[in-house]
Each structure stands twice: as structure tokens, then as C-alpha cells.
A and B are shown apart, each in its own frame.
Chain A
Amino acid sequence: MDTTVELPVKMVKPDIRPYIKSWITPLIVPLLLLLGWHAGVKVSGTQLIPLPKEVGLMLYDFAFGGIYDDAFSETLPLHLWSSVTRVYGGFFAAALVGIPLGLLIGRIKLIRDLLDPTLQLLRPVPVTAWLPLSMIFFGIGPNAAIFLVFLGAFYPIVFNTIFGVKAVDNRLFEAALMLGCSGSSLFRQVVLPAAIPSILNGLRLGHGFAWILIVVGEMTGVPEGLGAVIMDGRMLSRTDLVIAGMTVIGIVGYVSDRMLVALNNRLLKWSPQHHV
């Protein structure tokens, strides 16, 4: 009797400990890092590195103003918007060129023979090494930065797309052919969906590179943007501003990566092993 009474009681009080755990566990290391940072600055007595608290104040002022009221107060939206539009401009341009090009290179031998050697030759050149040329091509200004973002995102997108197309299981072509699917519908109904996991993987990698390169690109005489803010902070020895800029990039990069992950999981709901 006792056990039958006890069962429903247990069901009304669900165990919330696992949920708390799943929220707390990921926060442990960042909190320890902040603590270590704080302690490190205090113990060493350095003037070069601000305390986490000071960076927090700087971030607030950067976003909303009202604390220092200097040239950087309340300018976060402006810089953030500049950087975001450049990152996504370059990134989408890379996707727009990289995905179709990758599909063609992967599928058509003539185009592969024509373009692949050149791409393989250009790939090992670090994208940052293009900066001087990029400034000659596009002048000093945001376009040079966008070009770097484009180039940085382009390589992973195009190479992952090529890989995805070439890796399509031959069995699926046979299955499609014997079911009456051929020509361009084969491309649309078999090659494209089969390559989507690799394409998304390339987009995610390219997106990561885009955020890296925007900072490099904006460090060269662009008036606005998070990279420019970090550069200004360095010139003015405003380390709190430098770290505030880094924090914003980290958070925005993380959030937009999560959006790509959500897209990935939605498009690949047929393949749990591709979920991130």
C-alpha cells in the first residue's frame, strides 16, 4: 500500500536539481577566471590591467554613458552596427560566391580542373597577409576590412562545399536514377541535400573567421567599428576599453554562432549526429 501512495507524491515534486546543474556547470570556469583575474591584479598591484569591475563599468558607460562621459560613452551601438554590417556583408558575399562555386567545382570536372589548383595555391596564404594589397585595392576604409572578411569566410565555405559534394554516396545516385530522377533534378534533390551538412559546417567555420578578420581589418584607419575601438584603446592606454571591446566581440560572436547552430539543427533535423 505504502508504495502506491508514495508514487504520485514523487511525481508532483519533480527533481529540479539536474536543471540547476545544467545552468551552473557552464558558469563555473568563467566565474573562476574572473576571480583569478581580480586576484591577479590585486596581488601584483599592476596599473596596466584593470580590474574586472572596472571593465564592467567601462562596458556600461560604453553602452549607456553616464559614468565617464568621454568620447566613447554611449558609442557601442554605433561601433557594433558598423562591425556587424561589415561582418555579415563579407560573410554573405562569401557564402553567395562560395556555395555555388563549391557545388560547381565538386560536381563538374572541367570546372574543378580549371579552378581547384589555383584555389589550392591561394589557400595557404594567410588572409591577414592580404591586408596591404587590400588597402591598395580598396583604399583606407571599411571596404578593405570587408574584403578581408570575405576572403577569410570564403575559403572554408568553398572547400567544405566541394568536400560535401564529392562525398555524396554513390548509392544515392543509383537510387535516384532508378527512381527516375536525373539531370538537374538530381543536383537539386540529391547533391544539394546530401551536401548540406558540409556546407553548414563551412558556413560556421567561415563565420568564425569573419569575426577574427573584421578586427584585423578595422585596425587600419577605420573610424568606427569594434576593431577600431580596440586600436584606439591601445593608443590611449585605455586597457579597460580594449577589454570591453574584446568582451563585446566575444558575446556577439557567440550569439551569432548560436543562431547558425539553430539553423544547422533545424535544417539537419534528419541527422542527429550533425547536431551541435
Chain B
Amino acid sequence: MSDSERRPLPAIDIKGVSKVYSVGGQTVQALREVNLTIKKGEFACLIGASGCGKSTLLRIMAGFETASSGVVNMYGKPIVGPSPERGMVFQDYGLFPWLTVKENIGFGQRQRNLPKAKLNEISAYYTDMVGLTKFADYYPGQLSGGMKQRVAIARVLANDCEVLLMDEPFGALDALTREKLQQDLLEIWARTKVTVVFVTHAVEEAVMLSDRVVVMTAGPGRIEEDIKLALARPRDITAIEFNQVRRDITQYLSSHVSSKVAA
């Protein structure tokens, strides 16, 4: 039995990652010495106030940005750039407006020169998974925000992504749509066993969704707390335990913000 089989490689392994930007001649440290390991199949939330570097960290995982120092590995291999294995879901969707729903969902697979029938089959399967079969021939401009985000999720899943990176994906949606999409995301997660790294600034959303909440703080961005959630699923937003956890996390966040203000 090999070593890696006994201790499986983590989906994402971040070691000593720092990120320094240069803005108008001034250097800004966005991340300092971040260490984070995300297991295969885990649903992890990165939470923090704006400016804490959570989106930067996610973009480094995606390969859109490179760390100034440190290592980021996926299953032991260094991340050198964007790749279909790591699918990003943006807050502003990033759909191709000239492609229909099913063409957007099939976009990734189309890059692989599959036979047309196979391509259609895959895109139909994922269009159905996110409940948009009736809208398969619509253009993004004809869809609501919630539907667009469903397309964005289906698009990366259809492309065999193993790690789903989500950057405040439901932040622009109304409360009802957000709740519905959270439930659907959990269902998809349970069904596909995909690893999820989910960036949010909403504590309730983090507690609702994740196995683990990673609290980040700003100036420079670093990980403050790493909380495993033992709450049973499906989670009940009105349960005492749920609210206990929510209160704890809110305190971690606000204590840091108030100490910053006092200083």
C-alpha cells in the first residue's frame, strides 16, 4: 500500500502563500503566510470582511493570479494557471452572451473535439441537473440572475471540474432565489461529490452550506479561525445549535473589526 493511499492527497493544499500587489507605486500586502488544506469532497467556506483577501486566495486557487511566495497544489501538483479541473463560478456570472444556455453549458466540452452527439448528451444532462431544460435555447440576456448562476454552475460541472471555486456566487441574488440556489447547490454537491470552496461574507450562508468555515481577517489578509461544523444536514436555520455557531462566527468577525477600529 502506497503512502498516498493511506493518507490521500488533499484536493487543495496551500502552504505559506503571500500576495503583494503594487498599486500606483505603493505595495499592498493582500495575503500573508496563508496555510490551508482542503480535503477531497469537502465543502469549505472562506468568510471575512471585504479586503481580507478571500477572493484573492480563491483566484490564486483558480490560477488566475499567482502567489508572490508560497506553494499551491492540487492533488500534489502545483497550480500554474486556469484549468478545467478547477471551475470558477463568478458573482457576475461570466456567461457568454452570444451562446444559448445549452451552448454555454457545453462550452468546456466543445474544446475537446468530442463527437457532436456526445457533446449534446453531456450538455443536456447538466442543463437538466440545474433544472433549465425548458430554457436550453434561451440566451443569457433572457434569464434571471438565479438562472444565470445555475448555468454558470452547470457549465463548470459539465466540464468535469473536481474543485468548484465560488466567488460570492449568490451575492447579487434576492433572498428567496438565494435560498433556493443554496439548497440546489447542496443537492448537487451531495450528488457529484465535488469539492467546493465557497467565498462569502454572509455568516448565515456559510453556516448553512459548509463543513468548515475559514474566517479570514484583513490588513494583511490571513486566516484567523478554522471552524469545523458538526451540524447535521439538512440544516435548520431556526435550530438553537445553528444559531449558536452563527453567533460564534459573527463574534470572530466583529471582534476583529472592532479591534481594528479601536486601533
Binding site for B on A (CB under 8 A): 169, 171-172, 174-181, 185, 189-190, 193-194, 196, 269-273
Contact = CB atoms under 8 A, between A and B. Distances in A.
Given A171-B90, A193-B98, A271-B97, A177 B141 contact: no
A209 to B, nearest CB: 27
Contacts, number: 70
A172 B96 contact: yes
A180 B159 contact: yes
B33 interface: no
Nearest first, the 10 closest Cβ-Cβ pairs linking A and B are A179-B108, A175-B94, A178-B82, A177-B82, A270-B139, A171-B94, A180-B84, A180-B111, A193-B98, A270-B98
A180 B86 CA distance: 10
A132 B72 CA distance: 65
A185 B156 CA distance: 18
Interface string B84-110: 101110101011111110000001100
A112 B71 CA distance: 37
B108 A180 contact: yes
Contacts of B87: 178-179
Contacts of A273: 141
Interface residues of B, number: 29
B90 A175 contact: yes
Interface in B118-160: 139-141, 155-156, 159
Contacts of B111: 179-181, 185
Nearest to B97: A270
Contacts of A271: 97-98, 139, 141
A271 B159 CA distance: 26
14 contacts: A171-B90, A174-B64, A175-B90, A175-B96, A178-B62, A178-B87, A181-B107, A181-B108, A181-B111, A185-B111, A190-B96, A270-B100, A270-B141, A271-B97
A185 B94 CA distance: 18
Contacts of B140: 270
Nearest to B111: A180
B83 interface: yes
A117 B197 CA distance: 46
B63 interface: yes
B112 interface: yes
